[in-house]
Amino acid sequence: MGKLFASFCMYPAARRGRSRPAVAAVGVVYQDRLFQLHHALLRPGGEVILSAGTLGSPQLLLLSGVGPANDLTSLGIPVSVDAPDVGKHMFDNPRNGISIIPSVPIDHSLIQVVGIPSANGTASYLEAASYIVPVSPMLRPAGPFISPTSPLYVTMATIMEKVPGPLSEGSLWLSSPNPVETPSVRFNYFSRPEDLAQCVVGVRRVAQVLQSRTMDIFRSSVGSASQGRRGHARRDFRIVGATLPLDWSTNNTSVADFCRRTVATLWHYHGGCVVGRVVDKDFRVMGTQSLRVVDGSTFSVTPGTNPQATVMMMGSRYMGLKMIAERHSRRQVNTSSYNELEE
């Protein structure tokens, strides 16, 4: 399938009981690679399972008229369900790190967890990665560490910390009813002081790792020498990008400022269709029939250091098996009612 467009056509559902939701998803609208629009309609008893991720799923619900009624109305989108929490409670774990060019060759590696230190009751995840980066032409002729004869690419290593379970909340909203337009998102990093305090703890730990003797082999052979903790002359790191404040070990304010200046994403953003607010415990969109969201947008906390395995287990192993069992039991009920009619 190509680009999912506004998605499910929401139609008034046949109400058999008072408590049944008034609208039901009946299919999806999508555009193929040749920009042709298609409608794919559900078979009886079928469901639309939305798995467009943290940025895609709330966007598609909003485009389908499931979201805060005032926002939808202001964009001219007909309201199917007034669901104020769609696109709300969005979280992204702030990442801050220090990047160095090691003085010895090292293997390239994906981001890996290297520790979960805790201090004063707060934990942060320390992760590290090394990768090859092009040397900017502007840096090459004049850079302090990179001579004009340096290679075009260098290996860079980053030690970073991620704040787990951030409390700072953001939101996602549509700028237009056009489905090909990217929605707007704001994560409001460090709007809660608790997250900033955790970042300070984590960044300080990164600095301590860099100061450790173990890291000496990665220090520059051409940088200036500084006094180590025991008075030994030690070379500096070839740091790329932002450097830590000199008073990092004692000054919370300067480290907090570093956190704010250098914050980046670790791409573990989640929320927007959170369980208990937008979907129920079976991942059904509340106020609708035949519509579920099964992806990271339903999380209010990212699981562990890296979320992908949990998202996959939730989708295929947990929800997939559960839905197969539900359909199986529905078929059995239908068959037994049919047999009763036959007798």
Ligand X SMILES: Cc1cc2nc3c(=O)[nH]c(=O)nc-3n(C[C@H](O)[C@H](O)[C@H](O)COP(=O)(O)OP(=O)(O)OC[C@H]3O[C@@H](n4cnc5c(N)ncnc54)[C@H](O)[C@@H]3O)c2cc1C
Residue closer to ligand X by CB (options 56, 97) is 56
Q: From residue 303 to residue 322, what is the string marking binding to ligand X with x (rule CB under 6 A)?
A: ---xxx--x-----------
For residue 132, count other CB atoms closer than 10 A to its CB.
Answer: 10
Contact 285, 61 (CB under 8 A): yes
- State yes or no: residue 58 binds ligand X (CB under 6 A): no
Residue closer to ligand X by CB (options 220, 302) is 302
Question: Which pairing describes strands 23-31 and 94-100: parallel, antiparallel, or unpaired?
Answer: unpaired
Dihedral (CA of 43, 49, 50, 53) sign: negative
Residue closer to ligand X by CB (options 56, 164) is 56
* Least gap, CB of 106 to ligand X (angstroms): 19
Binder among 153, 267, 322, 328 for ligand X (CB under 6 A): 267
- State yes or no: residue 296 binds ligand X (CB under 6 A): yes
Residue closer to ligand X by CB (options 171, 220) is 171
Contacts of 113 by beta carbon, 8 Å cutoff, 6+ apart? 125, 126, 127, 305, 306
Binder among 49, 51, 140, 169 for ligand X (CB under 6 A): 51
Residue closer to ligand X by CB (options 190, 269) is 269
Spot the catalytic one: 89, 108, 268, 328. 268
- State yes or no: residue 199 binds ligand X (CB under 6 A): no
- State yes or no: residue 143 binds ligand X (CB under 6 A): no
Element (H, E) at 332: helix 321-342
- Using alpha carbons, select from 235, 289, 192 the residue that is nearest to residue 104: 235
| Radius of gyration of the chain measured on its C-alpha atoms | 26
- State yes or no: residue 87 binds ligand X (CB under 6 A): no
Contact 91, 187 (CB under 8 A): yes
How many Å apart are CA 80 and CA 66, to the nearest integer?
A: 6
Tokens matching residue 273: 């269709």
- State yes or no: residue 52 binds ligand X (CB under 6 A): yes
Residue closer to ligand X by CB (options 5, 11) is 5
- State yes or no: residue 38 binds ligand X (CB under 6 A): no
Tokens matching residue 61: 């619900």
Task: Tell me if residue 268 is catalytic.
Answer: yes
- State yes or no: residue 93 binds ligand X (CB under 6 A): no
Question: Would you list the DSSP string of 136-198?
Answer: PTTHHHH-SS--TTS-SEEEEEEEEEE-SS----BEEE-SSS-TTSPPEEE--TT-SHHHHHH
Region at 241 (left for phi over 0; alpha for psi -120 to 50; beta for the rest):
left
Binder among 4, 61, 273, 291 for ligand X (CB under 6 A): 4
**Candidate ranges 16-24, 49-57, 161-169, 191-199; the one touching ligand X (CB under 6 A):** 49-57
- State yes or no: residue 31 binds ligand X (CB under 6 A): no
Task: Count the site residues for ligand X by CB under 6 A.
Answer: 18
- Using alpha carbons, select from 175, 183, 179 the residue that is nearest to residue 75: 175
Cα 250 off chain centre by: 32
* Least gap, CB of 120 to ligand X (angstroms): 28
- State yes or no: residue 273 binds ligand X (CB under 6 A): no
Angle separating helix axes 252-262 and 193-211, nearest 10 degrees: 100
- State yes or no: residue 53 binds ligand X (CB under 6 A): yes
Active site residues: 268
- What does the binding site for ligand X look like in residue numbers (CB under 6 A)? 3-4, 51-54, 56, 60, 110-111, 267-268, 295-296, 306-308, 311
